[in-house]
Structure 1
Amino acid sequence: MICKISPIFLFSENEIFDLVNNFHSSGNTVVKGNRNEIKFFKTDSFSFNIKSFQKPILINKIIYSYFRKSKAARSFEYGMVLLEKGIGTPKPIAYIENFDWIGLTDSYYICEHVTFDFMFRDLVETENFPDLENILRQFTRFSFNLHEKGIEFLDHSPGNTLIKKAPNGNYDFFLVDLNRMRFHQDMSFDMRMENLCKLVTSNEMIAIMSYEYAKLYNKSYDETSAKWNLYTTVFQQKHYKKRKFKLFLKKLIK
C-alpha cells in the first residue's frame, strides 16, 4: 500500500486509511459511472470528496505499478502543481494505492470539497444562461492563463470546470478530473487552439471566446476564430466516428 498526504493538511495515515476502508459503506455518492465513483464526506469541520478509480485490467495493473503513475497519483501530483501555479482546483489531500503480487488493485484520490454555483457544461446546455458573455470572457482569460503557464489540460471539456460566482461579480474557476495533463515551457498557437476544441460547438460562443483570446495572445480575431473552429470541427468528426464505431460493435456483439 502507498499513501501520500499533502503537507497542507494534518491528516494522519490511519485517518486516510479509515476513510478509504469505509468508502463503500459510507459517504454520499456524487458521481457513479461505469469506471469511477466519487463520494462526498463531511466531518464537523471539513468537507471532502473521495474518487475511487476503476479497478485496472491485468495489463494496466502492471503498467501502473512499474511503468506509469496511477490515475490517483497523477491527480494528486497535478493538483499540487496547479495550486503552486495559482490555478483553481480543489486542494489535494491524499491518494492511496493498493497492490497485490501482480500489481495495482485499486486506487483513491482525496481532495477538498469545493462548493460551486454551476459547471461550464451548464453554459453549453442552458438556453439564455445569465451573464453568459461575461462568464465566457472570464473563462477564456482563465484558459489563456493556463496556456501561458504551459499547462495543457487534456480533458479541458464542459464537465471538468466548476464555476463559483465571487461577491465582486467575478467568477472563480476550478479544474477537476486532473489525471491527464502535459506541462510545457511554451505552448504554440495551434496547441492552444486544439486544447480548447472540446469546450463548445456554438458558433456564437466560439466567436466571443475567440475575440477575447485574440486580444490576449495578440492575434487577429479572424485567425483565432478560424483555427478554433477548425480544431472544433476535427474533434467533433472524430467523436462522431468513435461513437458510430462503438454502436457498431455493440450491435455486432448482440
Structure 2
Amino acid sequence: MQSIQTHPKYKHLEASLLDCVNHFNTCGTTVTKGDRNIIKSVELDGETLNIKSFKSPNAFNSVVYKYLRPSKAKRSFEYALKLTECGILTPFPIAYIEQTTLAGLKESYYISKHVDYDFDFRALIHDPQFPDRETILKLFTQFTFQLHENNINFLDHSPGNTLIVKTESAYDFYLIDLNRMRFETMTFNKRMHNFRRLWLSKTMVKIMAEEYAKLYTKSPQDTYNLMLKHSRAFQLKINSKKLRRSGRKLNFKK
C-alpha cells in the first residue's frame, strides 16, 4: 500500500510526486548517494524539489515504523512544519510518501524544496581564514539560541546539517536532516551539550560562548567552560572509536 501526505500548497503535485517515487531509479538527477540514503533533484511545475529516499529498514524496524513509531520520512515532514511555525528556516516541506505491507514499512521518501546554498558549517571548521568567519559564527550562535528558546533539541546538530545562504546584508541558516529531534525544555547543560557535534576549535568555542552568554545572560566563562567540556568529550569519544577500529584492522592484518 502506498500513502502520501502533502502540504496543502502542493496538493496539485501529488500525482507527479507519486510518479517520481514509483520511477525513482530513473527520475531526476542524483544529488547525493550514500550507504543509507539517496537524494534526487527533480523539476516539477517550475520548481526544483529534492526527494530523499531512506534506506529500507530491517525486519524489526519495518514493524516499528509502521505500528509503533513514525517513519524517518514522516518525522522529517512533521518536524519541518514545526520549524517553519517557529520561524526557523529549513527547506520547505512538500510531502512524505510511505510504501507499506502488513509486515511493515518497506520504503519511505521525504520531499522538500531545493535550497541553493553558498556553503555549509563545515567550511568554517576547515578554513580558519574563511571570509567573515567570526560574524557567521556569531549569527549561527543566535540561530542555535533561537532553536533552544523554542524548546527544540536538534540531535543531529552537526557541521553538514546547516546550509548557509549569503544574503545582501547577512546570512541565513537552513536546517536539514531533520528526523532526529526532541521538543523539550532546554536547560543550560542541554543547550551547551547541543553544540558538541559541531567539531569546534577552542577559538570557535570562545567566539560562540561569548555570543551565547550575551543572549542567555550567563557568565561568558561558565558558558565557555561547559561548551568546551561537551565539545572535547564528544571529539575524544569519536577519535577513540577511530583508533580502536584502526587498531583492530592492524591486528587483523598482522
Q: Which residue of 1 aligns with 2:171?
A: 171
How much has 1:141 moved relative to structure 2? 0.4
Q: CA–CA distance in 2 between the matches of 1:165 and 1:250? A: 43
Alignment of 1:34-73 (within 5 A): 34-43=35-44, 45-73=46-74
Distance of aligned partners of 1:61 and 1:93 in 2 relative to their CA distance in 1, 3 Å threshold: same
Counterpart residue identity of residue 152, structure 2? I
**Cα deviation per residue 1:65-108 (whole Å; 9 max; x = unaligned)?**
11111000000000000001100000000001101231111100
Q: TM-score, normalised by structure 1?
A: 0.94
**Cα deviation per residue 1:87-133 (whole Å; 9 max; x = unaligned)?**
00000000011012311111000000011111111111124100000
What's the % identity of the aligned pairs?
48
User: Which 5+ residue runs of structure 1 have no aligned equivalent?
Assistant: none
Q: CA–CA distance in 2 between the matches of 1:221 and 1:86? A: 27
**Cα deviation per residue 1:51-73 (whole Å; 9 max; x = unaligned)?**
00001111111111111110000
Alpha carbons 1:5, 1:11 under 8 Å: kept: no
Number of aligned residues: 252
Alpha carbons 2:199, 2:235 under 8 Å: kept: no
Please, which moves more after superposition, 69-78 or 195-204? 195-204
How much has 1:202 moved relative to structure 2? 0.8
Distance of aligned partners of 1:24 and 1:138 in 2 relative to their CA distance in 1, 3 Å threshold: same
Alignment of 1:179-198 (within 5 A): 179-184=179-184, 186-198=185-197
Q: Which residue of 1 aligns with 2:226?
A: 227
Counterpart residue identity of residue 156, structure 1? H
Q: Does 1:133 align with 2:128?
A: no
Q: CA–CA distance in 2 between the matches of 1:153 and 1:80? A: 14
Q: CA–CA distance in 1 between the matches of 2:29 and 2:248? A: 35
Alignment of 1:202-217 (within 5 A): 202-217=201-216
- Let me know the Cα RMSD of the aligned residues: 1.7
Q: TM-score, normalised by structure 2?
A: 0.94
Counterpart residue identity of residue 58, structure 2? I
Counterpart residue identity of residue 177, structure 1? D
Alpha carbons 1:200, 1:206 under 8 Å: kept: no
